């Protein structure tokens, strides 16, 4: 593409200018590259999982990101990739640099863990191979463990490329949050369908090559790249990174077996290859450690959950299924993660205890009449574990619990009560469900089938079926969430607006409408 070549040329000219300006401070070689020619940084750069002394820097070499074999146009040999981290955008004050191998077994992805940096500080980073220089990303370290800085978060999920443009990602980039939380459905596994706004390539993803190709296509999107370049991300996955509605060893419609586990292993490998995750999340076959905790000083603890890998099978949502649904043996996190979560909630000193996770937590009966109809896939299908978590929040006097949720393709703002089925029990926390970046297409202010059901749910304070994201601003005394929405995603360039805003005061549970 001629535009790609133009961008490359500009970057190379810029590099020349910088090298001249910085004298001999860029001792990078300019030899031949082993793939012939072509910019290898077509998928952008990313950073993630910051801690007080550092963060993960990511890129993947793919001069031909749409090559059908999923190899991105790279040869089988390993390629050394140079990286730099600087205090300034022009890389005059480089504070760390090094070389990391990009190996074919990992699709020539690079994950660099930089350490020993000052806490709570901004940095810029870039990569280089031969004459090719990557775009520059902005990142930051987490605050000092004793600090209580204000923070700005963007919360996003569900970015079906075929359903619409990534306008929400562009707005997130423009707002420069401190951290982006991505709560699942970064890709969708489906093949192209009639009526798609944008065409995906390739079949339904099921092998390593097809998952890699899908990420290659998604990550070429300039709005997505801009959002990664703007801030570090903390990512988790949901179902569509593997297959719709998968649950532990079972795929869609409960079909399991070795075929599904092989698919899960391929999906996990491709997810790791394309995300700024730490070494602790390197997959081992069909297993990957994704639940983890990230502390933002004394301001917030983010308990990032994995509600897919260890869950009991889906239950049907109808009353006839209640004996199964309500079984205390059912789990959405697995016993080990549940213990880890409850222990972490009890021991963290942070003001805001945040569950960053996939599926709706609050009580939501989707039947507008006297009957009940629960999702078979969210916490309403695992009510015994949900009640154990709520009891622990009360018993352990957990400070200011906030649940952040993806998956639902709608904004919801709800209060959480000690007993979700008893509207007289005390409010103990709140949940914000962030709608989708693009999944579901343009959407509307309300989904009619949910409007009447939600009218009967006084703990639900707000609902919207528009596309968008959550913008959260928090300090030691107040959490504010703006429900950001877009009028359309079927065309690029939609303006964003705030459909509703809520505040929570620390020490005083419950949503306040602003
Ligand atoms: Fe989704």
Q: HSE of 131 in the Cβ direction (CA atoms, 13 Å)? A: 15
Distance (Å) from CA 109 to ligand 1 centroid: 25
Distance (Å) from CA 30 to ligand 1 centroid: 43
Distance (Å) from CA 25 to ligand 1 centroid: 46
Distance (Å) from CA 21 to ligand 1 centroid: 47
Helices (H) and strands (E) in the chain, counts: 9, 22
Distance (Å) from CA 153 to ligand 1 centroid: 20
pLDDT of 455 above 90: no
Indicate whether this model's pTM tops 0.85: yes
SS3 139: strand
User: What angle (nearest 5°) sits at the alpha carbon of residue 352, between those of residues 156 and 185?
Assistant: 20
pLDDT of 337 above 80: yes
Mean pLDDT of the chain: 92
Q: Is 307 exposed, middle or buried (0-12, 13-18, 19+ CB in 10 A)?
A: buried
Is-contact 434 183, C-beta < 8 A?
yes
Distance (Å) from CA 158 to ligand 1 centroid: 4
Distance (Å) from CA 435 to ligand 1 centroid: 9
Share of the chain above pLDDT 90, in %: 84
Distance (Å) from CA 251 to ligand 1 centroid: 16
Report the pLDDT averaged over residues 322-347: 95
Confidence of residue 454 (pLDDT cuts 50, 70, 90): confident
Question: Which sign, positive or negative, has the C-alpha torsion 128, 134, 138, 139?
Answer: negative
Specify the pairing of strand 427-433 against strand 411-417: antiparallel
- Looking at residue 6, what DSSP letter applies? H
The length of the chain in residues reads 514
Distance (Å) from CA 156 to ligand 1 centroid: 11
Distance (Å) from CA 416 to ligand 1 centroid: 23
Distance (Å) from CA 464 to ligand 1 centroid: 15
Distance (Å) from CA 41 to ligand 1 centroid: 28
Distance (Å) from CA 59 to ligand 1 centroid: 25
Confidence of residue 31 (pLDDT cuts 50, 70, 90): low
pLDDT of 124 above 90: yes
Distance (Å) from CA 164 to ligand 1 centroid: 13
Distance (Å) from CA 437 to ligand 1 centroid: 9
SS3 156: strand
Rounded to an integer, what distance in angstroms lies between the CA atom of residue 13 and that of residue 10? 5
Report the pLDDT averaged over residues 479-500: 98
Is-contact 366 453, C-beta < 8 A?
yes
Distance (Å) from CA 244 to ligand 1 centroid: 9
Distance (Å) from CA 333 to ligand 1 centroid: 19
pLDDT of 460 above 90: yes
Distance (Å) from CA 412 to ligand 1 centroid: 15
Distance (Å) from CA 406 to ligand 1 centroid: 7
Distance (Å) from CA 88 to ligand 1 centroid: 37
Report how far apart the first and last C-alpha atoms of the chain are (Å, whole number): 48
Distance (Å) from CA 289 to ligand 1 centroid: 21
Distance (Å) from CA 188 to ligand 1 centroid: 8
E strands in 13-78 = 45-51, 54-60
Distance (Å) from CA 350 to ligand 1 centroid: 30
SS3 144: coil
Other beta carbons within 10 Å of 115: 11
Distance (Å) from CA 409 to ligand 1 centroid: 6
Please, which residues have CB within 8 angstroms of residue 126's CB and are 6 or more apart in sequence?
45, 83, 84, 91, 133, 134, 135, 136, 137
pLDDT of 403-441, one tens digit each?
A: 999 999 999 999 999 998 898 999 999 999 999 999 999
Which comes out higher in pLDDT, residue 261 or 12? Answer: 261
Residue listed under structure tokens 């622990």: 392
pLDDT of 387 above 70: yes
Other beta carbons within 10 Å of 99: 12
Residue listed under structure tokens 């586990």: 261
Distance (Å) from CA 408 to ligand 1 centroid: 6
Helix 222-230, helix 167-175: angle, nearest 10:
30
Question: Which sign, positive or negative, has the C-alpha torsion 92, 44, 105, 294?
Answer: positive
What dihedral angle (degrees, nearest 10) is formed by the CA atoms of 218, 221, 226, 232?
Answer: 10
Tokens of 291: 């639940």
- Of 46, 60, 274, the C-alpha closest to 139 is 46
- Looking at residue 163, what DSSP letter applies? G
pLDDT of 20 above 90: no
Distance (Å) from CA 161 to ligand 1 centroid: 11
Distance (Å) from CA 238 to ligand 1 centroid: 8
Distance (Å) from CA 359 to ligand 1 centroid: 10
Other beta carbons within 10 Å of 193: 10
Distance (Å) from CA 239 to ligand 1 centroid: 8
**Alpha helices for 400-474 (secondary structure H):** 448-455
Distance (Å) from CA 426 to ligand 1 centroid: 31
Distance (Å) from CA 469 to ligand 1 centroid: 13
Rounded to an integer, what distance in angstroms lies between the CA atom of residue 181 and that of residue 234? 5
- Of 286, 136, 275, the C-alpha closest to 212 is 275
Tokens of 347: 């021991």
Distance (Å) from CA 177 to ligand 1 centroid: 23
pLDDT of 370-384, one tens digit each?
A: 888 899 999 999 999
Other beta carbons within 10 Å of 218: 20
């Amino acid at each position: 593409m001629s535009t790609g070549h133009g961008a490359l040329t500009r970057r190379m000219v810029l590099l020349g200018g910088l090298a001249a300006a910085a004298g001999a401070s860029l001792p990078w070689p300019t030899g031949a590259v082993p793939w012939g020619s072509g910019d290898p940084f077509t998928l952008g750069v990313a950073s993630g999982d910051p801690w007080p002394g550092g963060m993960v820097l990511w890129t993947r070499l793919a001069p031909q990101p749409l090559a059908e074999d999923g190899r991105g146009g790279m040869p089988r040999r390993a390629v050394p990739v140079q990286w730099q981290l600087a205090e300034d955008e022009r890389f005059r004050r480089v504070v760390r640099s090094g070389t990391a191998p990009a190996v074919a077994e990992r699709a020539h992805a690079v994950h660099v863990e930089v350490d020993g940096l000052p806490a709570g500080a901004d940095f810029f980073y870039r990569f280089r191979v031969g004459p090719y220089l990557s775009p520059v990303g902005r990142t930051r370290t987490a605050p000092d463990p004793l600090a209580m800085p204000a923070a700005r978060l963007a919360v996003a999920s569900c970015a079906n490329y075929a359903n619409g443009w990534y306008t929400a990602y562009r707005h997130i980039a423009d707002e420069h949050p401190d951290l982006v939380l991505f709560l699942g459905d970064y890709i969708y596994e489906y093949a192209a369908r009639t009526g798609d706004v944008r065409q995906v390539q390739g079949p339904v993803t099921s092998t390593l090559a097809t998952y890699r190709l899908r990420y290659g296509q998604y990550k070429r999107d300039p709005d997505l790249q801009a959002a990664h370049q703007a801030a570090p991300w903390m990512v988790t996955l949901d179902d569509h990174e593997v297959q719709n509605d998968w649950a532990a060893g079972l795929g869609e419609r409960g079909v399991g077996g070795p075929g599904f586990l092989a698919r899960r292993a391929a999906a996990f490998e491709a997810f790791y290859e394309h995300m700024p995750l730490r070494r602790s999340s390197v997959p081992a076959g069909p297993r990957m450690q994704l639940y983890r905790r990230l502390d933002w000083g004394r301001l917030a603890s983010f308990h990032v959950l994995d509600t897919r890998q260890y869950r009991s099978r889906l239950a049907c949502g109808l009353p006839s299924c209640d004996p199964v649904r309500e079984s205390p043996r059912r789990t959405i996190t697995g016993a080990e993660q549940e213990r880890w979560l409850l222990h972490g909630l009890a021991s963290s000193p942070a003001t805001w205890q945040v569950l960053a996770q996939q599926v709706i937590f609050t009580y939501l009966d989707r039947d507008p009449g006297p009957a009940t109809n629960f999702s078979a896939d969210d916490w309403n299908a695992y009510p015994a574990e949900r009640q154990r978590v709520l009891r622990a929040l009360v018993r352990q006097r957990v400070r200011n619990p906030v649940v952040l949720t993806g998956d639902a393709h709608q904004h919801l703002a709800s209060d959480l009560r000690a007993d979700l089925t008893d509207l007289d029990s005390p409010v103990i926390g709140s949940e914000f469900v962030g709608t989708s970046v693009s999944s579901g297409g343009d959407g509307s202010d309300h989904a009619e089938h949910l409007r009447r059901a939600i009218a009967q749910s006084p703990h639900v304070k707000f609902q919207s079926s528009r596309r968008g994201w959550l913008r959260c601003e928090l300090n030691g005394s107040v959490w504010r969430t703006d429900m950001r929405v877009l009028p359309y995603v079927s065309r690029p360039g939609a303006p964003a607006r705030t459909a509703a805003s809520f505040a929570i005061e620390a020490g005083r549970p419950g949503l306040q409408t602003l």
